[in-house]
Chain A
Amino acid sequence: MELSNDVVTSFMNSLKNASDWLTFAYDAPFARAVVFGVPIGGHLFVEGLLLVVILFLLSQKSYKPPKRPLTNKEIDELCDEWTPESLIPPITEEMEKEPPVLESAAGPHTVINGKEVVNFASANYLGLMGHEKLLESCTSSLEKYGVGSCGPRGFYGTIDVHLDCEARIAKFLGTPDSILYSYGLSTTFSAIPAFCKKGDIVIVDEGVHWGIQNGLYLSRSTIVYFKHNNMESLKNTLEKVTQDNKRAKKLRRYIVVESVYQNSGQVAPLDEIIRLKEKYLFRVLLDESNSFGVLGESGRGLTEHYKVPIDKVDIITAAMGHALASEGGFCTGSSRVVDHQRLSSSGYVFSASLPPYLASAAITAIDVIEANPKLLVKLRDNIKALCTGLSGIQGLEIASDILSPIVFLVLKKSTGSLKSDLQLLQDIADQVLKEHSVFVVPSKRSTLDKCNLPVGIRLFVSAAHTESDLQKAYESLKSVAASVFTGQN
């Protein structure tokens, strides 16, 4: 009892001592001082101490694991270890196949391996290849200017024939101005990045060719595909896109279509497209490579065919390597469109200009087309005759439009993979060439191409083909198809 009492007493004593100390601290002289009119109580000491401790902790750096950059020895080891892939994948059998070599001009009749064959593989739609007026103007141009132009357009590569050619094309089509490019493929992939910039919206058909796909990829804009040549799908896509985006003032919007699709032979319904474009306020870019000189009464292209005034289409591009039997490409539209490209289109500014003899060939070709509209009628009749002759062929069917100068035959039943389809079509084409001397080609697909349309055999009809040529073509195709497809039905 006494022990516990002692413990309690000593405890009470120590507590009393502590509280005495505290009271002393509180009563210390400076504890009650008044500084700047604010009475300082003793509790302020504790708060001051707390503040100092907080500041000390904050000023300490937080813990970060120390950065250890790789030492030279480690980098050496990594570099030795690294093995790159080989530059190209191993060569397979189909890569070693060589295309047939022509020994004369690629006109309607040509010579392969010493034998004369009927040529359906050149896009010489109006038969202007080998025309004597073209050859004459080319020869005089070659003798005057030599072959190359030795410079880009900005640095003395502009020869007066280029300017004449641009004026001639503009006059023929009825637009203010046009611009010439030195290569057909580079026309689209230089013109598109000049107009479509990052953030713009572009609605494009899924069956366009590689030049347009590459141009769109380089332009870094938002790309939306719609189903091939399907106006319903286009309308729905336009509806969806305009709903999401209200900033029409700053955002440029484009629809990109081809007039006659290289990958399928379909023809785009331009009047429908123009109606939709005006409703939703988009600009239209039309690639007329396969319809310039073919469609329309005088060959002015899809706009003439559908009787749409040409200034409703904002930008028209075309390659001249088809109906005009020349090389290169052009782009036309309002003068704002054309002037803009002279400084911002990379394939125009940074590359040498078109050789002058090809520009004079193009001028002469346009003159010939304007003087002979009968060529177009002949071409149309030829296409009709070929299509009627090919109807009822076994295993293949015509997938292209009756107006298209490319007659496109696809397999009725696909074998399942792209490769085996191509192999089958290639066999058919080879057999036709060997046994019947008719030269046709299956369509090719590059590994970079994103298009998913079916492959087929393409026949490029020309106004220079005669009745007997066409007859030979469809009869031989029918017999080969019958022999190849008799096994499967």
Chain B
Amino acid sequence: MITIPYLTALTTYFSYGLLFAFGQLRDFFRKFIDWWKASNLQGYAPICLGLEDFYIRRLYLRIQDCFGRPISSPPDAWFDVVERVSNDNNKTLKRTTKISRCLNLGSYNYLGFAAADEYCTPRVTETLQRYSASTCSTRVEGGTTALHVELEQVVADFVGKPSAMVTGMGYVTNSAILPVLVRNGGLIISDSLNHNSIVNGARGSGSTIRVFQHNTPSHLERVLREQIAEGQPRTHRPWKKIIVVVEGIYSMEGELCKLPEIVSICKKYKAYVYLDEAHSIGAVGKTGRGVCELLGVDTADVDIMMGTFTKSFGSCGGYIAGSKELIQYLKYTCPAHLYATSISPPAAQQIISAIKVILGEDGSSRGAQKLAQIRENSNYFRSELQKMGFEVLGDNDSPVMPIMLYNPAKIPAFSRECLKQNVAVVTVAFPATPLLLARARICISAAHTREDMVKALEVISRVGDLVGIKYFPAEPKKPELEDGRKKVE
């Protein structure tokens, strides 16, 4: 867990308070000016009233240029960021024709499949010619091609489950599967920092939702015991079923889930486990099979495994893997399968080829190299950042590294300064994170070489000194002899 230093908390609150006060002042004057001008709403209620979009208008728009930066090249290790200008103080931004070549520390490109790849791209183009860009039809109608069947088999084998089902978008997978599995009378217990798609899916299901403290198995046990003993709210009837939803790697913290303990607790209390491996499939584990492999959990113990292909496989789409009966049932009832267009064939081919490369079935050892590279890269980068005195979150082996910023003014400062020195980083603030805990999030890829990382570390260190985010004391460098020999006692 993160504990803010006391002084930093005070200054952060003060900054937000100042921004809020200025925002209210400007709103007050805006009300006067608008009185004069006739409103063009003509009797309709406004889309956003008063304070509903206060945060967006007064706080977010000031630093809008740090978000949504367009690029004009594939999101590889180095990419071209398009510069934008604004004539009205950041309210609207226009693209210019100038581009700057920057180091990419923000895209989810864990295994380096983002740009054209020597094995995958020819096959993808061939599939495009054969099956065209889209099937224009749902899976149960004319949208199942031989490619889709092959894809589901390959994914099921890779993940370690009997069968799998693939949809065209990861977000929809969560939102459309949870309502089918649990209805009224069921209970969903989810981690407090779960992703928005899980929250939406849980809300859309109509069942009761309870939250347990982030990654704390003991609290989960307490919540389970309490809930089973009490039963449904008000009627106290026993619950129909209980599903516990956790993620493999939490994207804002970089932490791995404590899966072995959670699975053993769920087995003891007969709850079902739903694991969302959006960031961890393909990126962790000895052969890239995700958190289960890394932490030594048998895949038969996890009832439902879900994941997305956007991050490690350079494609799009999501999957659900489980027992044969589960997948058959889902294919019969899930709206994402019955009503939505099937996944685009070239994207499906990309996934199949990427999995083949990872498993080494393409005849080369590129897959194993990529996996080793990303592990090495993430560990090296994290340890170097920690040595410099930054506050970095996350566990070892996880390719996601948030660096704490806290203060709202440091967010645009860090982002803009890094961009000036040709390093593109991602900064995240409220509402994706709690108000006080703004951070910059670094995603390391297997495509980053050692030189890239050294340059990134230099730039980050310089900007960190300028902005003042080295909250921990830096480790002193070990003394070295002139020709680099280690000192021998």
Contact = CB atoms under 8 A, between A and B. Distances in A.
B240 to A, nearest CB: 5
B195 to A, nearest CB: 7
Contact of B73 (A145, A150, A211, A252): A145
Interface in B95-142: 95, 104, 106-109, 113-117, 120-121, 124-125, 128-142
A441 B106 CA distance: 44
A350 B326 contact: no
Given A142-B124, A185-B336, A150 B314 contact: yes
A18 to B, nearest CB: 62
B332 interface: yes
Given A83-B270, A148-B314, A158-B70, A95 B116 contact: no
A73 B215 CA distance: 26
Contact of B326 (A88, A340, A445): A88
A156 B419 CA distance: 13
A119 B71 contact: no
B128 A138 contact: yes
A205 B315 CA distance: 36
Nearest to A343: B56
Interface in B138-180: 138-146, 148-149, 168-172, 175-176, 179-180
Given A88-B329, A100-B144, A327 B344 contact: yes
Contacts of B240: 84-85
B172 A79 contact: no
Interface stretch (A7-15, A230-238, A243-251): A243-251
Interface residues of B, number: 118
A347 B82 contact: no
B121 to A, nearest CB: 7
Contacts of B16: none
B421 to A, nearest CB: 17
B116 A143 contact: yes
Nearest to A342: B68
Nearest to A112: B142
Contacts of A351: 169-171, 197
Given A146-B121, A283-B44, A123 B172 contact: no
Interface string B286-302: 00000000000000000
Interface stretch (B45-53, B454-462, B480-488): B45-53
B190 interface: no
A355 B53 CA distance: 30
A297 interface: no
B45 to A, nearest CB: 5
Interface in A346-387: 346-347, 349-352, 354-355, 357-358, 361
B339 interface: yes
A106 B145 contact: yes
Nearest to A355: B316
Contacts of A102: 135, 142, 144-146
A361 B331 CA distance: 29
Interface string A54-94: 00000000000000001000110011001111011101001
A41 interface: no
Nearest to B60: A343
Nearest to A186: B172
A150 B130 contact: no
B372 interface: no
Contact of B169 (A70, A129, A182, A218): A182
Interface string A23-63: 00000000000000000000000000000000000000000
A110 B326 CA distance: 31
Nearest to A364: B133
Interface stretch (A265-273, A317-325, A395-403, A409-417): A317-325
Contact of A91 (B95, B170, B325, B347): B325
B89 interface: no
A444 interface: yes
Interface in A95-112: 95-96, 98-107, 110
Interface in B216-243: 224-226, 228-229, 238-242
A143 B328 contact: no
Nearest to B180: A448
A183 B134 CA distance: 12
The number of chain A residues touching the other chain, given as a range, is 35 or more
B238 A355 contact: no
A150 B329 contact: no
B350 A123 contact: no
B248 interface: no
B340 interface: yes
Nearest to A365: B133
Nearest to B44: A281
Given A84-B240, A85-B240, A326-B133, A142 B333 contact: no
Nearest to B428: A155
B338 interface: yes
B144 A449 contact: no
Contacts of B316: 147-149, 182, 352, 354-355
B23 interface: no
Nearest to A323: B136
B459 to A, nearest CB: 17
B488 to A, nearest CB: 47
A218 B204 CA distance: 6
B134 A358 contact: yes
A316 interface: no
A189 B175 contact: yes
B132 A325 contact: yes
A282 B309 CA distance: 41
Contacts of B113: 146, 148
Contacts of B238: 82
B272 interface: yes
B274 to A, nearest CB: 10
Given A91-B329, A148-B310, A248-B43, A122 B137 contact: yes
Nearest to B76: A146
B200 interface: yes
B335 interface: yes
Contacts of B424: 156
B172 A183 contact: yes
Given A104-B131, A156-B75, A89 B329 contact: yes
A330 interface: no
Nearest to A449: B335
Given A129-B136, A143-B116, A156-B104, A148 B315 contact: yes
Contacts of A85: 240-241
A146 B149 contact: no
Contacts of B170: 351-352
B311 interface: yes
A295 to B, nearest CB: 18
A143 B47 contact: no
A138 B127 CA distance: 12
Interface string B433-447: 000000000000000
B181 to A, nearest CB: 7
A157 interface: yes
A177 to B, nearest CB: 10
Nearest to B313: A148
A158 B69 contact: yes
B196 A95 contact: no
28 contacts: A82-B270, A88-B181, A94-B332, A122-B136, A134-B132, A135-B133, A138-B133, A142-B124, A144-B116, A146-B75, A146-B76, A147-B120, A151-B75, A151-B107, A156-B71, A156-B104, A157-B75, A159-B72, A160-B70, A160-B71, A214-B175, A336-B47, A343-B56, A346-B171, A355-B316, A358-B134, A444-B338, A446-B334
Given A102-B142, A143-B116, A156-B106, 8 more contacts: A75-B229, A121-B137, A155-B106, A158-B68, A211-B339, A351-B169, A352-B308, A358-B133
